[in-house]
Structure 1
């Protein structure tokens, strides 16, 4: 961020800025923040939790999950997160939303891995009621982000009292002095078919939008970032109709949010593959206050799906897919079945 742009790095950043803002009359300096999201794909410890259905991730069970594999998984997750956004932010992401993690303890193990330890990441996490024991959480570098408030929201279905899923997490705080609100999501899966399961994701979208609206009711210019594995694409009704998103900055209004990942999706870029088709479930969506040309405050610059070759399957039936930890029940020692996504926020140094 601001204090790291010196020497060659500052020169490189200025070249980048000049290239992007060639019409500027005066030489300006900018600070950049990276905000990321990553589905960690079943980051479980090896300890059986009798309250959840985590048996398969215990030693001696079907997946033969053990300490060696757990530590290998942690190393892989830390390796990936530490590289996100480093083209412009050498310290890595200031904010990381995550999902598919078992508990706070596994996150503590994750942020203590060598690639992340120097970032002094802190954790915002609540236990969700989901029967599989998987939660969402937010990690943040404390030197860049100051937490002010957080709250967990439970998704309920009135016609299905036995339904449970991951909570949605609202985290508010100041990113280098600027108030920003983050909503971390992991919407219900497509198990049983996309159409049949669609109402559950629409319900999740309604909850997410209501959380955002509660923030906007207090400040109509609030800066809100919705992130998560939505189990739907940017063009699906849950996102377009119920979150009320647009891929066009020119069509933004007080009631709509900007979805830069829709542009990526329409260009054939995805964050996961299924039956030789790409989906982009791992989305980052922005309120209007984060979009525009006034760079005296943080504004959206660019969205990226981090799909580096080391994260992909090199051969076989799933060549080019994200290289996951297990494939067809067999341990492959990969990373995740999702690629991470991230955005850059940029503002002028005053």
Structure 2
């Protein structure tokens, strides 16, 4: 009987602790009190199951080859909430940037699934993307108050007929202090990395133009760019297009300079997306020097950005390599979370 109860206690302990997956880095190691967690997650085609004639959503309907049924949709929502709760250390992160969402309905459904429909707000605009996917921001109403938002259109002068996702700009106050956010999902590498690079450079130019406007108005503005850039920190769209620094500077950056917090992670061989066995650092946080230099108020450290790669959201392939446990591979349903890993950072005050 003693052995039985000992085993039972062990099982309960393991369930309560191991089920949470990977332990997040200790938020107390850097200076400043943690005010909130900011997450970004490309959620891999979060579509509802209803046909929208205005967009190309035919792949994600109950009668499609994907067999995207209401049951599968609800499973997907539950799994995304599980991931986001874990990233937020027991509750949703304070700010959540999302990519590959179909519309505002899926955002509302996600918040209902998280039982956060009363406490979280949504910033979203329908974009002209050919696949019918958008970016969005979810925010904790008690921590963040949007005061201005707009979709930033990305137009390709070399291909005016092609459309892509807007960049979402949101200005708000986080615990009373002004914070600028840009949520990105830049054009993919589907046609080849070099062949498609001009499209990402065009997106970078749109973001850079907005940044210049922000810094002209206030050179000490605190800015966070987040997103799936479909490029890595060392690529031209980041270093030349956005003019972001990717290595820790010897001296303090100017307040209006940009720093890519994922550059160090890329150098260490880490990534948020696995392509044919290689890790790519596509999902990133890029911040203004003002956030890194601040001795008080809203701030963060050079090591405050992380990838959430808990074992339970990973799939181990036949070669023993762990990759993100995705929802689909082509038309094959795996029932996982997403083909990207979420990234997150600590905001301090």
Question: Could you say which residue in structure 1 is the equivalent of 2:11?
Answer: none
SS of structure 2 residue aligned to 1:285: strand
Question: What is the alpha-carbon distance in structure 2 between the residues aligned to residue 192 and residue 161 of structure 1?
Answer: 17
TM-score norm. by structure 2 comes to 0.88
* Equivalent residues in 2 for 1:277-288, closer than 5 Å: 277-288=278-289
* Equivalent residues in 2 for 1:318-337, closer than 5 Å: 319-337=321-339
* Equivalent residues in 2 for 1:1-350, closer than 5 Å: 17=28, 20=30, 30-86=33-89, 90-114=90-114, 116-117=115-116, 120-246=119-245, 247-249=247-249, 250=251, 252-254=253-255, 256-292=257-293, 294=295, 296-301=296-301, 302-316=304-318, 319-347=321-349
How many residues in Structure 1 have an aligned counterpart in Structure 2?
A: 320
Deviates more, 1:33-42 or 1:285-294: 285-294
Structure 1 segments of 4 or more deviating over 6 A?
none
Shift of the alpha carbon at 1:119?
Answer: 7.5
Shift of the alpha carbon at 1:328?
Answer: 3.8
Question: Could you say which residue in structure 2 is the equivalent of 1:11?
Answer: none
Residues 333 and 170 from structure 1, CA distance in 2 versus in 1: closer, same or farther, beyond 3 angstroms? same
Residues 23-79 of structure 1: CA deviation (Å, up to 9, x unaligned):
xxxxxx724321110001000001111111110100111101100000000001111
Shift of the alpha carbon at 1:254?
Answer: 4.9
In structure 1, the gaps of 5 or more residues are 1-14, 22-28
Question: Could you say which residue in structure 2 is the equivalent of 1:10?
Answer: none
Shift of the alpha carbon at 1:293?
Answer: 5.6
Does the Cα contact within 8 Å between 2:125 and 2:136 map onto a contact in 1? yes
In structure 2, the gaps of 5 or more residues are 1-25
Residues 251 and 292 from structure 1, CA distance in 2 versus in 1: closer, same or farther, beyond 3 angstroms? closer
Instruction: Quote the RMSD (CA, aligned, Å).
Output: 1.8
